[in-house]
């Protein structure tokens, strides 16, 4: 079953509701376009394979996403097409969805209209007679509210009934003018618009979309997100850290000793390596969950779509349309999927430039590194420090975009901002919770596999002596294979204030995934001596104390300047392996290598300049 509809029509919400948010996303065979797939289990036990196609206004393609939709629905052989198409029609703007339905009806198809946002339409004085709509179009229609889980039984009944009937061609393709004339007649027959009145959406937009006030409001909202996230999640994070690294680590250690397995080889891998490293990342789960929840609320309310409008002037200055800011904002969650989201941009140059700029956004993996360092060095202002990094990432995007445009793409095509802003609506706890869980689960699943693999590799490298007369697994960290390699590259970062092997070594694992930086730190410092405090206190304080002392020693007493330089380097240096693979798939190997080189060289220069300047003041 294909699910198609215009952007912001409620299509993806309906998809998540039908499939229970159990989504599998991947490239469609033979294309580079991503689609979401899920299974809708009906009440009578039937399992329908549901494909959520990218949002589109028409089957006349203008982008790779729309080309895929047309190809799968119309161009392919009939036995390769979906068995049925559900066209999502936004009741606040029904003509858009009906245009898609009319185009599809010019071919043999089973079609169902799912009319969404009826509550918003009624609030705007718009009345849609669904029964009359089905009569004038010849296509079955039902009302669905995915956010409130309403109308699903009706949709199921109509879909199953249609699947039991042969495919029919409802309309004859008599040209565009005839289609629009029939579309106009259908809207007039089934839709009644009341007296036009100013809506709450228009009133709010008069304020939040102002040229100068809008960006300030956007920055204020994002600062509030980080402030709330860190303030509320900090106690949960501390409690979880004490539980995992203190109590649970002690229980495992005692259990290994009781079983006679307390060999350094075993305890080093299990307790210091896996439990310490995985546990350190797990302690950030409450913080990430709260941040994802805040962003989900903003997205569900309709506010985040306004970011494209308030940043349009800035994006136009670097040769990109305002809607290019949407994948950049979404990139703050994870860079990998939003590289694919650049397909919404019409110009190939726009897609290349945006794909090169997205890795400068601070993804969730970088966020946990920033949060850890901020809570160690700026405990009273951690939220503001992390927010400053997000502002800096936007500055880097703009400056890098200006440099690339002025050197490589002076003839960048202009593109006016054309965007459909959704109506503001109250977020629902069910939808916000579902989106939050999807993102948190995705991060933990990805991070978990990467961290376990990284910990095992780092543990092996730290167990192998390369320098000095040491036995395997009984080697000082700096004399291990990992320590020697890290020490070899550490002088490169001495001008940036973090030239010790234990600070630069984790940057190597950061090439694989940025969350591996923390797990590597946890493992590196776990094998060093800690204080004589109780085990619970050691678990809570040893890592922070070692990192703080390391920055202090290697920077010559300018730890604050060095940690800012490190954070800036982390923000701007080469993205993770998955992001590089996504870039190569979207923009080719040449531009990916170019971006790799520019980011690494630029990040080193920025870190050095930042440290040399900041150490004068800090």
**What secondary structure does DSSP assign to 23-85, as a single string?**
-EEEEPTTSS-EEEEEEEE-TTS-EEEEEEPPP-S-SS-SSHHHHHHHIIIIIS-GGGS-S-E
CA separation, residue 530 to residues 277, 315, 383, 447 (Å)? 16, 49, 29, 27
Distance CA 248, CA 535 (A): 11
Yes or no: say if 381 and 288 are a contact pair by the CB < 8 Å rule. Answer: no
Q: Angle at CA 121, nearest 5°, toward 119 and 126?
A: 130
Q: At what angle do helices 213-241 and 382-407 cross, to 10 degrees?
A: 130
**What secondary structure does DSSP assign to 549-592, as a single string?**
HHHHHHTTS-HHHHHHHHHHHHHHS---HHHHHHHHHHH-HHHH
Yes or no: say if 191 and 137 are a contact pair by the CB < 8 Å rule. Answer: no
**Element spanning 219, H or E:** helix 213-241
Nearest to 245, CA basis, from 289, 283, 285: 283
Distance CA 335, CA 12 (A): 20
Q: Is 11 annotated as a binding residue?
A: yes
Q: Is 29 annotated as a binding residue?
A: no
Q: Is 17 annotated as a binding residue?
A: yes
Nearest to 548, CA basis, from 323, 358, 374: 374
Q: Is 30 annotated as a binding residue?
A: yes
CA separation, residue 74 to residues 82, 109, 194, 525 (Å)? 10, 10, 37, 59
Q: Is 231 annotated as a binding residue?
A: no
Q: Is 10 annotated as a binding residue?
A: yes
Q: Is 32 annotated as a binding residue?
A: yes
Upper half-sphere CA count for residue 548 (Cβ side, 13 Å) = 12
Q: Is 8 annotated as a binding residue?
A: yes
Upper half-sphere CA count for residue 367 (Cβ side, 13 Å) = 24
Q: Is 33 annotated as a binding residue?
A: yes
Q: Is 5 annotated as a binding residue?
A: yes
Yes or no: say if 82 and 109 are a contact pair by the CB < 8 Å rule. Answer: no
Q: Is 193 annotated as a binding residue?
A: no
Q: At what angle do helices 559-572 and 382-407 cross, to 10 degrees?
A: 50
Distance CA 289, CA 229 (A): 9
Yes or no: say if 7 and 53 are a contact pair by the CB < 8 Å rule. Answer: no
CA separation, residue 79 to residues 50, 74, 406, 561 (Å)? 17, 11, 50, 64
Burial of 534 (0-12, 13-18, 19+ CB in 10 A): exposed
Task: Name the DSSP letter for residue 345.
Answer: S
Nearest to 185, CA basis, from 167, 171, 195: 171
Yes or no: say if 566 and 498 are a contact pair by the CB < 8 Å rule. Answer: yes
- The region, left, alpha or beta by phi > 0 then psi within -120 to 50, assigned to residue 246 is alpha
- Residue 37: beta bridge partners? 24, 51
Q: Which residues, 6 or more positions from 266, have their beta carbon under 8 angstroms from its beta carbon?
A: 256
Yes or no: say if 574 and 507 are a contact pair by the CB < 8 Å rule. Answer: no
Q: Is 9 annotated as a binding residue?
A: yes
Distance CA 305, CA 422 (A): 7
Q: Is 20 annotated as a binding residue?
A: yes
Q: Which residues, 6 or more positions from 408, have their beta carbon under 8 angstroms from its beta carbon?
A: none
Binding-site residues for GTP: 5-12, 30-34, 52-55
Binding-site residues: 5-12, 16-17, 19-20, 30-34, 52-55
Binding-site residues for Mg(2+): 16-17, 19-20
């Amino acid at each position: 079953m294909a699910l198609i509809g215009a952007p912001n029509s409620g299509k993806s919400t309906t998809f998540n509701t039908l499939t229970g948010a159990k989504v599998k996303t991947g490239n469609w065979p033979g294309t580079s376009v991503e689609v979401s797939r899920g299974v809708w289990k009906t009440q009578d036990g039937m399992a329908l394979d549901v494909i959520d196609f990218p949002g589109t206004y028409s089957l006349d393609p203008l982008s790779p996403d729309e080309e895929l939709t047309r190809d799968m629905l119309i161009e392919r052989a009939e036995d390769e097409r979906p068995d049925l198409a559900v066209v999502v029609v936004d009741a606040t703007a029904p003509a858009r969805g009906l245009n898609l339905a009319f185009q599809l009806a010019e071919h043999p198809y089973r079609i169902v209209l799912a009319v969404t946002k009826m509550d918003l339409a009624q609030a705007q004085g718009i009345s849609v007679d669904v029964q009359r709509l089905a009569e004038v179009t010849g296509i079955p229609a039902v009302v669905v509210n995915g956010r409130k889980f309403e109308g699903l039984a009706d949709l199921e009944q109509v879909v199953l009934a249609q699947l039991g009937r042969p495919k029919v061609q409802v309309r004859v393709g008599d040209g565009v003018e005839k289609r629009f004339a029939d579309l106009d007649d259908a809207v007039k027959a089934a839709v009644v618009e009341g007296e036009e009145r100013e809506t709450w959406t228009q009133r709010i937009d008069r304020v939040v979309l102002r040229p100068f006030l809008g960006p300030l409001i956007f920055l204020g909202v994002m600062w509030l997100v980080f402030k709330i996230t860190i303030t509320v999640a900090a106690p949960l994070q501390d409690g979880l850290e004490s539980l995992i690294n203190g109590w649970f680590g002690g229980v495992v250690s005692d259990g290994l000793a009781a079983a006679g397995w307390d060999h350094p080889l075993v305890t080093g891998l299990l307790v210091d390596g896996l439990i310490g490293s995985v546990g350190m990342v797990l302690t950030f789960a409450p913080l990430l969950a709260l941040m994802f929840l805040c962003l989900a609320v903003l997205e569900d309310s309709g506010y985040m779509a306004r970011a494209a409008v308030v940043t349009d002037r800035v994006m136009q200055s670097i040769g990109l349309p305002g809607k290019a800011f949407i994948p950049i904002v979404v990139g703050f969650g994870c860079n990998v999927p939003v590289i694919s989201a650049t397909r919404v941009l019409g110009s190939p140059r726009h897609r290349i430039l945006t794909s090169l700029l997205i890795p400068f956004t601070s993804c969730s993996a970088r966020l946990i590194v920033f949060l850890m360092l901020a809570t160690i060095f700026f405990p009273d202002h951690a939220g503001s420090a992390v927010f400053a990094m997000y502002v800096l990432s936007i500055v880097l995007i703009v400056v890098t975009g200006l440099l690339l445009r002025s050197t490589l793409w002076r003839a960048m095509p202009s593109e006016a901002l054309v965007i459909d802003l959704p109506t503001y609506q109250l977020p629902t706890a069910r939808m916000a919770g579902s989106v939050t869980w999807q993102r948190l689960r995705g991060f933990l699943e990805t991070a978990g596999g990467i961290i376990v693999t990284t910990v095992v590799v780092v543990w092996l490298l730290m167990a192998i002596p390369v320098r000095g007369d040491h036995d395997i697994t009984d080697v000082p960290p700096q004399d291990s294979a990992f320590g020697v390699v890290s020490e070899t590259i550490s002088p490169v970062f001495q001008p940036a204030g973090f030239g010790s092997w234990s600070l630069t070594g984790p940057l190597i694992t950061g090439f694989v995934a940025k969350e591996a930086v923390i797990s590597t730190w946890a493992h590196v410092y776990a094998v060093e001596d800690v204080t004589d405090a109780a085990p619970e206190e050691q678990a809570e304080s040893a890592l922070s104390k070692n990192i703080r002392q390391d920055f202090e020693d290697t920077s010559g007493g300018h730890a604050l300047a060095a940690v800012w330089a490190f954070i800036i380097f982390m923000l701007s240096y080469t993205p993770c392996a998955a992001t590089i693979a996504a870039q190569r798939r979207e923009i080719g190997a040449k531009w990916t290598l170019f971006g790799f080189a520019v980011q690494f060289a630029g990040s080193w220069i920025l870190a050095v300049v930042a440290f040399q300047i900041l150490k004068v003041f800090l």
